[in-house]
Amino acid sequence: MIRALIGVLIAAIVAAFMRAVIGMISREVSDTLNPKAAAPQPPPSPSQAALRKCPVCGTYSPGDYCSDLCRDKAK
Ligand SMILES: [Zn+2]
């Protein structure tokens, strides 16, 4: 009886530990693959003075290009 209880307890602890490890690894992997997704982007403010027109798609943005995609296309 007690052995069964201990078995259930250990299984629960191992399951919780595995979930924590898997969560940590998946967060690490998604940070590595896509570091921009981890950092929250500030919302674009319409009152921003230095907006430039993206030469690739014409979208106005604070940088020279509206996105990395357009910067890559311009190369
Ligand atoms: Zn663009």
Render the chain in DSSP notation, one character per residue.
Answer: -HHHHHHHHHHHHHHHHHHHHHHHHHHHHHHHH-HHHHSPPPPPPTT-S--EE-TTT--EESSSSSSHHHHHHH-
The neighbourhood of ligand 1, an ion, using CB within 5 A, equals 54, 56-57, 59, 66, 70
- Give distance in angstroms: CA of 61 to centre of ligand 1: 8
Domain ranges across the chain: 1-41, 42-75
Tell which wins on pLDDT, 1 or 24. 24
Query: Which pLDDT score is estimated for 15?
Result: 95
pLDDT tens digits along 25-66:
999 999 888 877 666 777 666 555 688 999 999 999 988 999
Average pLDDT of span 7-30:
94
- Give distance in angstroms: CA of 68 to centre of ligand 1: 8
> Which pTM was predicted?
0.38
- Give distance in angstroms: CA of 33 to centre of ligand 1: 22
- Give distance in angstroms: CA of 58 to centre of ligand 1: 6
Tell which wins on pLDDT, 18 or 41. 18
